[in-house]
Amino acid sequence: MNYYISGQSGFIGQAITKHLREKGEDIYCIQRSQSILNLTYLFNEIKPDYIIHLAAYGNHYHQKDFVETVNANIIGTYNLLEAVKSFEYKLFYNISTSSVMLENKTYYSITKFCGE
């Protein structure tokens, strides 16, 4: 099976990647903030069976760029969903965050909620 994973360098992404590689699955990384055109090209090259979307920005204290937060957490999710519309795949996993439930909202929690 072919797995495309965004957020592969993060804590959860690394654990999922390691687990799937141990099972002998083929893993492909999706870099953050890819255009629909670039993603479509990637998916044409190697057809995805599973897409695991973990990529995020703004959850660490040093990540303060609001535009990058919107690009990664909203636009990045939208671009992935648009790019896979013309492909047959088994499942699209969108991994969000418990931060969307915070009483005191942050840019991160709001943009992740929008991505949901």
Cα dihedral angle (17, 22, 26, 32), rounded to 10 degrees?
A: 10
Closest alpha carbon to 55 in 36, 31, 38, 39: 31
Domain coordinates of the chain in residue numbers? 2-115
Q: What is the pLDDT of residues 52-67, one digit of tens each?
A: 999 899 888 898 899 9
Q: The domain at 2-115 falls in which architecture?
A: 3-Layer(aba) Sandwich (3.40)
Average pLDDT over residues 40-62: 92
Specify which residues 94 forms β-bridges with: 53
Would the pTM of this model clear 0.85, i.e. be above it?
Answer: yes
